[in-house]
Each structure stands twice: as structure tokens, then as C-alpha cells.
Amino acid sequence: MAVENSIRAGVRAGDAAAFGQIFEDHSGAVHRHALRMTGDWAAAEDIVSLTFLEAWRLRERVAPEGGSLCPWLLGIATNVIRNTRRAARRHRNTLAKLPPPDATPDFAAEVAGRLVDAEQLAAAKAALGRLRPADREVFALCVWEGLDHAAVAEALGRPVGTIRSRLSRARARLRELTERELATSRSERSARSAALLQRPGGGGQFTDGRALAARSTKETSR
């Protein structure tokens, strides 16, 4: 605890070494949280930078005594992510008023195809995106970052009871949405497979027994 209090004192005083230490200790956790919440490497790196810039601005608010500053930094990162999303929405609304750009290739499917269970990953990602933002934030901090309820409450400035109820709701909702996404994905895949099988002459295949019989008759008569 003495070490944490010393770092807190250094941060409050604007000591560069103290800030270097918390960056070294916690920038990885901030980046993981940002990446999981945004799904974008470049955006996550920007959020790390903005988080520590904001931490410098808010340094005098750090309590003189306490444990790790990781919850404090993750709370700042969560606010940065919220602000980034609001800015992105404004940007999209502006772009929507412009003529659509030319289509560009999407390589997301190629990357996802390298994963062992891309279908489940895609379903979970889609389901996570459909959670309420407040529930998604609690889920990310509790489950992915492994923070306890008290630490998440500190990070988000909410009562512990609120964190518990949001996490419980997020888990139940995420399970339901993931199963629904998987069912939809499998149904669509089955429909595509059925459509391919019904295509006449696709890939040198015959679509019914009569065509196959006709081919066999021709080969026999040669």
C-alpha cells in the first residue's frame, strides 16, 4: 500500500516518473479495454493516448491513499470511449449527407476465417454490440479486465449494487443474444447451401437423378 500511496502522491504532484510508472503498469489494461469496446486497433491506441492525457489533466483528483490506479484509469478510458462514439456518430451523420463513396474491399471475413471458431466469435461480437452501453461497460470491466465489483464501481462512479445488477443483466442478455445470433447465422448458411445445391450445372454437378441417368446412358453407349 505504501508503494501505491507514493505513486498516487507523485501523480497528484504531476511527477513525470510517477506517470511513466502508471503508464508502464496499466497502459496494457487500458488498451485491452479499449480494443474490446471498439474492436479497432487504431482506435484503441488513440484511446490509450487520450486516457493518459485526461489522467494528467485530472491528476489532482486522485485520492492521496488507496490501491492500484488501474480502476481510475479504466474509468477515464470508458468516458473517452463514450465521447469517441458520440463524435463518431456526429461524423457519420455528416457523411450521410454526402454522396456515397466507392465501395472498398472488406477483409474482415478473411481475418475472421483464421480463427478456430469464427462463427461463435462473430455471434458473440454482434450480441455484445446489442447490449445497452452501460451493461456492456460493466461486462467489459468485470469479465474481461477481471475487476471486482468495488473496483468497477469506483471506475464508473456507480454504487456497487448497480454494478452487480448490470453485470447479471448483461450476462443473461448476452447469452440470449449470442444463441439467437448463432441460430440466425446457421439458418442463413443452410439457406445458402440449399440454394447452391439447386443451381443447375453448378461446378459440373447435376441437380437431379434424371440428369445423372442421362449422363450414364451416354457414357455406356460409347
Please report the DSSP string for 104-133 in residue order.
----HHHHHTTSTTHHHHHHHHHHHHTS-H
Report yes or no on 159 lying in a domain: yes
Q: How many domains does the chain have?
A: 2
The reported pLDDT for the residue numbered 94 is: 64
Does 107 fall in a domain? no
* CA–CA separation, 178 and 117 (whole Å): 14
Show Cβ contacts of residue 15 under 8 Å, excluding neighbours closer than 6 positions: none
Co-location of 36 and 87 in the same domain = yes
Q: Are residues 176 and 122 in the same domain?
A: yes
Helix, strand or coil, per DSSP, at residue 149 = helix
**Tens-digit pLDDT profile for residues 14-56:** 999 999 999 999 999 999 999 988 888 888 999 999 999 999 9
Cell of 96: 450521410
State the residue range of the domain holding 33: 1-98
Q: Are 151 and 183 in the same domain? A: yes
> How far is the C-alpha of 75 from the C-alpha of 137, rounded, in Å?
10
Question: Which residues of the chain fall below pLDDT 70?
Answer: 88, 91-92, 94-121, 189, 192-193, 196-222
Kindly state whether residues 8 and 60 are assigned to the same domain.
yes
CATH code where residue 180 lies: 1.10.10.10
d(C-alpha 48, C-alpha 23), whole Å: 9
Q: pLDDT value at position 97?
A: 66
